[in-house]
Every structure is written in structure tokens, then in C-alpha cells.
């Protein structure tokens, strides 16, 4: 037991470097997911089938297949079509595309939560559809869906552990590397879990803080 | 006087429901038209068609003599036709002043300073300059509706449409909104007002129009309209609405 703790203490810096990578992957994927999700979410609500149909297919397909399969498809599958991606871009793209599907559903609900009169008032002032969305609907929608988005980001942070399988040395992989050298499975996985928890807990606090700040306005 | 708006043979369906059944209407510049009628008669739908918030299946609308193309002209048209809604529809995430300045800046390309200067003038006019930095939720219903009127005026519209602007207000707040509307009417604004406020109709309207089941039943200057309505349905409606 003493040995286990010693290993954890000695390799803690190394795990933290992995955690930094986890944060980096999560941050980039979150941004990608937000952008994709916003457009796909708006697409799902479009009156034109040319937008709503592809958006629906996107959401259904990505939510209906395992993330691990999606990661493999992008990292191992695309090269056979002649498209080689390095591990980091592959990981971020897979996570971002996947998260985009979940964010799209959240954004859709958020847009629907804004009363119809808001859109009409904006249009009655001469704003285009795009202007009404950008200045009136989306700001209110995002305020309403902030808690749900926070949950999605936390899920994404945890899901990012899956990209350890394509050889990215994020937190999970760092732990595995330490264990393969020291066999201190319990303390290292325990430490890894604690670091994940520290990150998700902090993230949820940040989301709650932002929520409160926005609620005042 | 010259004609500013003309509606010709307008028909509107919601699915199978035939809501407007051949509306013909002309409006002179500076005229105040009050529309009354029972619930469901199509008053809101008519205003919304004029502003193209609803599409219509048949008929034509002319603005300043030019045929409106519903596919092309609506954004421009809407800057020229202001609309005030029953439930105000102020933007809750924006301060009062931002509610006023957003559309002129984004739609007309007015500078921020210029927009704010104008917003101050209009807020002063509706008596709410001291609320410029409040969020709408902090205002009473009557104040919100006055802000909504100022917001529409920011675009320098040629016509203002009011859809039951006082129906959602507590009785003691109706007056302040009607005062602003009277002021607007006396400044020469062309207005179409859907309302149940018969006092306003008598005092301010140039013409009162009664709608029922998607058609215009009768219209006349207010004195004549109220003193001796010709149609049975109009009489029936007036009896009901004036009896309390
Ligand atoms: N979006 C819609 N979809 C389907 N039917 C509608 C829609 N909007 C209005 N209607 C119907 O059209 C008819 C006319 O409605 P409208 O709102 O124009 O009446 P109104 O004269 O303004 O009534 P009120 O005094 O209650 O406001 C009603 O039968 C209403 O149920
Ligand atoms: Mg109505």
C-alpha cells in the first residue's frame, strides 16, 4: 500500500501533464461541438427539408452509434480512403462531431424555448432571419440551455478518455503508461479518477457561476 | 390626402380554415383606422398579413402605390410598417435603450451614437427616459408597451399597426398607453389599431371598421358608425361591447 502511494506521488506530475492534454482536447472539441451543434440545431428547425433532413440524419446517426466506433472510423477508417489524420486532429474531430449531435438537440430545445413573439418582433423591425437568430433568439436560447450545455461539456470531458485507444497521451493513457511500468493499478486509477473528478467538479462550478451572472441581467 | 396602403381581395387560409375571405382596404396617409370585431374574426391575421408575418393565398397588397412582392420586399416593407403587439415582445436580454437601437443599427446601418440620440428623444416622448438602462422585466406592462411603441418608431415607419396594444394591461395602465397613441395620431402618423377601447375609437379614429368571420362588414367615420350602425351584426356586437 505504501508502495502504491509512493508511485502515485512520484507520478502525479506526469498524470497532470496528461490531464492538461485532456483539457486541451476537451476545449477544442467543445468549441467544435458548439459551432456544429448551433448550425445543426437551427437546421433541424428549418422549414426547408433541404436543411432539416440532413440535420436529422446527422443527429440520429451520431447518437445511434458508439463513440468508440466513430473514433476508429475516423482514425483507422479514413486512411483507407486516402485521408490520413494524426491522432490529435482525429480525436478532436471525432469528439467534436459527436458532441455536435448532442449540442444540436440542446440548441434546438433552446430555440424552441424562446417565445415565438420574440422572432416576430425582430422580423417586424425589418431584421432578416439570420439577424433575428443571431441577436434575439440565440442569446436567449443559450441562456436557457446553459445548464444542459454544462452537462454536455462534462460528459465530453469524461468521454475524451476514449481517445486513449488511438494513442493520445491524455489523462487516461498517462495512467495506463505509469501502471504498465509500476503495476500500481489501484492508486494510479484512483488518482486518475480523482483528477477527472477535480476537473468535472470545477467545470460544473464554473457553469453555475456563469449561469448566476447571466441570471442577474 | 394620398393613398399609402391598399389591400385588394385578400384571402388567408390556415390549412382548411378560411380566415380572411376577401378583404379590400385602402388607407390614406395620416389616417387612423380602428378595427373592431369579435374574437376569431381575423383582425390580428389581417394586420399580420399586411406586415407579411403571415403569408396569404390570394390577393395583393400595395404600399405607396407599388405592388408588394412577398418574396422580395418584406424586410424593406417591415422597416416602413411598425408593429406593436398585444404582449409587447420586448427583448428581455437587452436593456431598454438596446431594445430601441438594435434594429436601426443592424438593419438601417445607423451609427450607435446616432441611434442612441434618437432613442433618447423617443424615450422622452413616451415618458420613459429614466428607464433607459433598465431591463424590460423591471418595467410595468404599460411602460413596456410604451417602450415597444418607441422601438417601432425608431425605424421611422410610415404606418404603425397596433394589435390590441392595451388588452394585456391592468386597467389602470391602459390610459398611459392610449395617451402615447393619441399623441402619435395627432402628430400625423398613419395608424391601424385593433382594439376594444371604444373611447379611443370615438376620439381618435378617422374611420371605424367592423370585421366578422373574415370579412369587413361595415365601416364609417366614428360618429356615424356608433350613432347609427347599419348592419345587424354590427349592432349586435356594439350592443354587447358597450353594455358594460
Ligand atoms: N397560426 C394559426 N394557425 C391556425 N389557425 C390560426 C392561427 N392564427 C389564427 N388562427 C385562427 O384564425 C382565426 C382568426 O384569428 P385572429 O387571431 O386573426 O382573430 P382575431 O380577430 O385577432 O381574434 P382576437 O380578438 O381573439 O385576437 C381564428 O379562428 C384563429 O383560431
Ligand atoms: Mg387578435
Burial, B157: exposed, middle or buried (Cβ in 10 Å; 0-12, 13-18, 19+)? buried
Alpha carbon distance A34, A52 (integer Å):
18
CB proximity A136 to B under 8 Å = yes
- Number of domains into which chain A is organized: 1
Structural domain span for residue A147: 2-216
Q: How far is the CA of B160 from the centre of ligand 2 (A)?
A: 16
Q: How confident is the model at residue A155 (pLDDT cuts 50, 70, 90)?
A: very high
Distance from CA of B78 to the nearest CA of A (A): 5
- The pick from B10, B11, B23, B40 for probing ligand 1's pocket by mutation, whose C-beta has the most ligand atoms within 8 angstroms, reads B40
Burial, A5: exposed, middle or buried (Cβ in 10 Å; 0-12, 13-18, 19+)? middle
Contacts A–B by Cβ distance under 8 A: 59
Q: How confident is the model at residue B215 (pLDDT cuts 50, 70, 90)?
A: very high
Residue B243 has pLDDT above 90, yes or no: no
Q: Is the CB of B195 under 6 A from ligand 1?
A: no
Task: Return the bridge partners of B28, or none.
Answer: B3
Q: How far is the CA of B45 from the centre of ligand 1 (A)?
A: 6
Burial, A24: exposed, middle or buried (Cβ in 10 Å; 0-12, 13-18, 19+)? middle
The whole-number average pLDDT for the span A141-164 is 95
The pLDDT tens digits for B139-175 are 999 999 999 999 999 999 999 999 999 999 999 999 9
Q: Considering only CA atoms, which of B12, B61, B13 is closest in space to residue B192?
A: B61
Q: Which residue's CA is the nearest one to ligand 1's atom 17?
A: B44
Task: Return the bridge partners of B58, or none.
Answer: B11
Pick A120's closest partner by Cβ from B53, B148, B151.
B53
The phi, psi pair for B218, rounded to 5°, reads -165, 145
Q: Do A117 and B87 lie within an 8 Å CB cutoff? A: yes
Residue pair A37/A106 in contact by the 8 Å Cβ criterion: yes
Please report, for residues A66, A111, A118, the alpha-carbon distance to residue A105 in angstroms, rounded to integers and kept in the order given: 17, 10, 21
Please report, for residues B107, B197, B207, B232, the alpha-carbon distance to residue B100 in angstroms, rounded to integers and kept in the order given: 12, 27, 30, 44
Q: Do B107 and A123 lie within an 8 Å CB cutoff? A: no
The pLDDT tens digits for B6-31 are 999 999 999 999 999 999 999 999 99
Q: Is the CB of B40 under 6 A from ligand 1?
A: yes
Distance from CA of A119 to the nearest CA of B (A): 9
Alpha carbon distance B97, B147 (integer Å):
9
The strand order across the sheet containing B159-163 reads B81-84, B159-163, B190-194, B32-36, B207-212, B215-220
For residue A72, give the CATH number of its domain: 1.10.3720.10
Q: Provide the whole-model pTM.
A: 0.90
Which residues are found with C-beta within 5 Å of the ion, ligand 2?
Answer: B 44
Q: Which chain B residues are within 8 Å of A47, Cβ to Cβ?
A: none
Q: Residue B1: what pLDDT?
A: 62
Pick B53's closest partner by Cβ from A118, A124, A140.
A124
For B131, the grid coordinates are 428607464
Q: Residue B242: what pLDDT?
A: 80
Q: DSSP strand E in chain B: where? A: 3-14, 17-28, 32-36, 58-63, 66-67, 81-84, 159-163, 190-194, 207-212, 215-220
Residue A19 has pLDDT above 80, yes or no: yes
Alpha carbon distance A57, A61 (integer Å):
6
The pLDDT tens digits for A83-104 are 999 999 999 999 999 999 999 9
CB proximity B103 to A under 8 Å = yes
The pLDDT tens digits for A101-138 are 999 999 999 999 999 999 999 999 999 999 999 999 99
Q: Which residue has the cell 365601416?
A: B219
- Provide the ipTM: 0.94
Tell me the CA end-to-end span of chain B in Å, nearest whole number. 37
Q: Residue B244: what pLDDT?
A: 58
Pick A125's closest partner by Cβ from B87, B92, B103.
B103
Q: Do B107 and A122 lie within an 8 Å CB cutoff? A: no
Pick A124's closest partner by Cβ from B83, B87, B108.
B83
pLDDT > 70: what percent of chain A? 99
Q: How far is the CA of A177 from the centre of ligand 2 (A)?
A: 69
Q: Which residue has the cell 389581417?
A: B46
Q: Considering only CA atoms, which of A94, A215, A197, A195 is closest in space to residue A147?
A: A215
Question: What does the mean pLDDT of chain A come to?
Answer: 95
Amino acid at each position: 500500500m505504501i508502495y502504491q502511494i509512493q508511485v502515485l506521488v512520484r507520478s502525479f506530475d506526469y498524470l497532470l501533464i496528461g490531464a492538461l492534454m485532456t483539457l486541451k482536447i476537451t476545449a477544442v472539441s467543445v468549441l467544435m461541438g458548439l459551432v456544429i451543434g448551433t448550425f445543426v440545431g437551427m437546421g433541424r428547425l428549418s422549414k426547408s427539408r433541404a436543411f432539416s433532413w440532413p440535420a436529422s440524419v446527422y443527429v440520429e446517426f451520431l447518437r445511434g452509434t458508439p463513440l468508440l466506433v466513430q473514433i476508429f472510423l475516423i482514425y483507422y477508417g479514413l486512411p483507407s480512403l486516402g485521408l490520413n489524420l494524426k491522432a490529435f486532429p482525429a480525436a478532436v474531430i471525432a469528439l467534436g462531431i459527436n458532441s455536435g449531435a448532442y449540442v444540436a438537440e440542446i440548441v434546438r430545445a433552446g430555440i424552441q424555448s424562446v417565445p415565438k413573439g420574440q422572432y416576430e418582433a425582430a422580423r417586424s423591425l425589418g431584421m432578416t432571419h439570420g439577424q433575428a437568430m443571431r441577436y434575439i433568439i440565440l442569446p436567449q436560447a443559450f441562456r436557457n440551455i446553459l445548464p444542459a450545455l454544462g452537462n454536455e461539456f462534462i460528459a465530453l470531458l469524461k468521454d475524451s478518455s476514449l481517445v486513449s485507444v488511438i494513442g493520445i497521451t491524455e489523462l487516461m493513457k498517462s495512467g495506463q503508461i505509469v501502471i504498465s511500468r509500476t503495476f500500481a493499478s489501484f492508486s494510479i486509477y484512483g488518482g486518475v479518477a480523482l483528477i477527472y473528478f477535480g476537473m468535472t467538479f470545477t467545470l460544473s462550478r464554473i457553469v453555475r457561476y456563469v449561469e448566476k451572472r447571466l441570471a442577474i441581467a | 390626402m394620398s393613398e399609402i396602403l391598399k389591400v385588394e381581395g385578400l384571402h388567408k387560409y390556415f390549412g382548411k380554415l378560411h380566415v380572411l375571405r376577401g378583404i379590400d382596404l385602402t388607407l390614406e396617409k395620416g389616417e387612423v383606422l380602428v378595427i373592431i370585431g369579435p374574437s376569431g374574426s381575423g383582425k390580428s391575421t389581417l394586420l399580420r398579413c399586411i406586415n407579411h408575418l403571415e403569408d396569404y393565398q390570394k390577393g395583393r397588397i400595395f404600399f405607396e402605390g407599388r405592388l408588394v412582392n412577398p418574396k422580395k420586399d418584406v424586410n424593406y416593407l417591415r422597416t416602413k410598417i411598425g408593429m406593436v403587439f398585444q404582449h409587447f415582445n420586448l427583448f428581455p436580454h437587452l436593456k431598454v435603450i438596446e431594445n430601441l437601437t438594435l434594429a436601426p443599427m443592424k438593419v438601417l446601418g445607423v451609427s450607435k451614437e446616432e441611434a442612441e440620440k434618437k432613442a433618447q428623444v423617443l424615450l422622452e416622448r413616451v415618458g420613459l427616459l429614466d428607464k433607459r438602462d433598465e431591463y424590460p422585466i423591471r418595467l410595468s406592462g404599460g411602460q413596456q408597451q410604451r417602450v415597444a411603441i418607441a422601438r417601432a418608431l425608431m425605424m421611422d415607419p410610415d404606418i404603425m399597426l397596433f394589435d390590441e396594444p392595451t388588452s394585456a394591461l391592468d386597467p389602470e395602465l391602459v390610459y398611459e398607453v392610449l395617451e402615447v397613441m393619441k399623441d402619435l395620431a395627432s402628430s400625423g402618423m398613419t395608424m391601424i389599431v385593433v382594439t376594444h377601447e371604444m373611447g379611443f375609437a370615438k376620439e381618435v379614429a378617422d374611420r371605424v371598421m367592423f370585421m366578422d368571420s373574415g370579412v369587413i362588414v361595415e365601416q364609417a367615420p366614428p360618429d356615424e358608425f356608433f350613432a347609427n350602425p347599419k348592419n345587424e351584426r354590427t349592432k349586435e356586437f356594439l350592443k354587447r361591447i358597450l353594455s358594460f
